[in-house]
Structure 1
Amino acid sequence: MIIAGTLALCVASVAVVAPGAGAATHASTSQRIVTVAKKYVGHARYRYGGSSPKHGFDCSGFTKYVYKKAHVAKLPHNAERQRDMHRVEHVSKKHRKVGDLVFYMSGGDAYHVAIYAGHNKTYSATDPRQGITHKKIHGKHIRYGRLKS
């Protein structure tokens, strides 16, 4: 009798835990993205066309490198092409999550991309003076994207 009760408890536990597995997967993916991104804040320089810590990063080169090192995806080296990828799901500000891509828009196209760090901040390769930064999101024309599973 005790064995049957224990088995029922185990089965119930599995049924309750299993639906949350997707959330755990996103959490671990976003954690990997943030872990890689924050490693370069203040330690890598900005370089137009750059996509490596050795030579420097531009904005899309940084997101491309971070997503690759975090084993998330291969991204193109262009902010608009990253936004327009068929695997990128556009999400609202309300539904953004850590690790999402942040696109700065002008005239319908993305001219800059960063990684959402939470608390209205990003990890970004902005310009030669600042290098890789962790700072507040600025601007009004912002879009968010997340890679579909």
Structure 2
Amino acid sequence: MTALNRVPSLLTRAGTASALTLAAVGGGIAVPGAASEAAAATPAVKALQIAASKRGAPYKWGAAGPRRFDCSGLTLYAYKQAGKTLPRTASGQYNRTRHVSASHREAGDLVFFHSGRNIYHVGIYAGKGKIWHSPKSGSVVRLERIWTKSVWYGRVS
């Protein structure tokens, strides 16, 4: 029996969402006309999804995953899982990105927090003025509204 012939019985037994999830994660099922959202996603969107999947992971200075993160460790990990290489530090990541204005920012862009010319924090833009980030010691990876106008945006290419 081919994978395509198994789809109806799998849909009946597991439910449509479960079968499509299997297809999206490489379960070997082909559903005609249904493109995998994961396969169609850009590296930026994949990195954003990976960062979001780490919600609740504890902050640890110098950690770059997979269970604990500091701010640049989270962005490094998320983009590495999405197939892109970034430097380890927030300032190194800023120097490696294509800088974009706030009016041209997109989901998955990196958000760099600065004081003057000093970059002190980084997160991944989630849209609607929010970022996924690992803020500080004693906290966890979370979605949070951008709290200052002292930010720069960078696009990973």
Which digits, 9 at most, give the CA deviation of each residue in 1:76-123, with x for residues without a partner?
Answer: 1110111012xx111000000000000001121211000000110000
Partners of 1:82 and 1:28 in 2: CA distance: 19
One-letter identity of the residue aligned with 2:133: S
Percent identical across equivalent pairs? 39
Superposed, 1:128-139 pairs within 5 Å as 128-139=137-148
Partners of 1:26 and 1:99 in 2: CA distance: 15
Q: Offset of 1:51 from its aligned partner?
A: 0.5
For structure 2, which runs of at least 5 residues remain unmatched after alignment? 1-38
Is contact 1:50-1:58 (8 Å) kept?
yes
Asked if residue 75 in structure 1 is aligned to residue 86 in structure 2, the reply is yes
Superposed, 1:1-149 pairs within 5 Å as 28-42=42-56, 44-54=57-67, 56-71=68-83, 73-85=84-96, 88-148=97-157
Q: Offset of 1:127 from its aligned partner?
A: 1.3
Is contact 1:45-1:53 (8 Å) kept?
no
One-letter identity of the residue aligned with 2:53: K
The aligned length equals 119
Is contact 2:123-2:132 (8 Å) kept?
yes
Cα distance 1:40–1:110, how it changes in 2: closer, same or farther (>3 A)? same
Q: Offset of 1:26 from its aligned partner?
A: 9.2
For structure 1, which runs of at least 5 residues remain unmatched after alignment? 1-24
Which has a greater percent of strand?
Answer: 1
What CA RMSD, in Å, does the superposition of the two structures yield over aligned residues? 1.7
TM-score, with normalisation over the residues of structure 1? 0.75
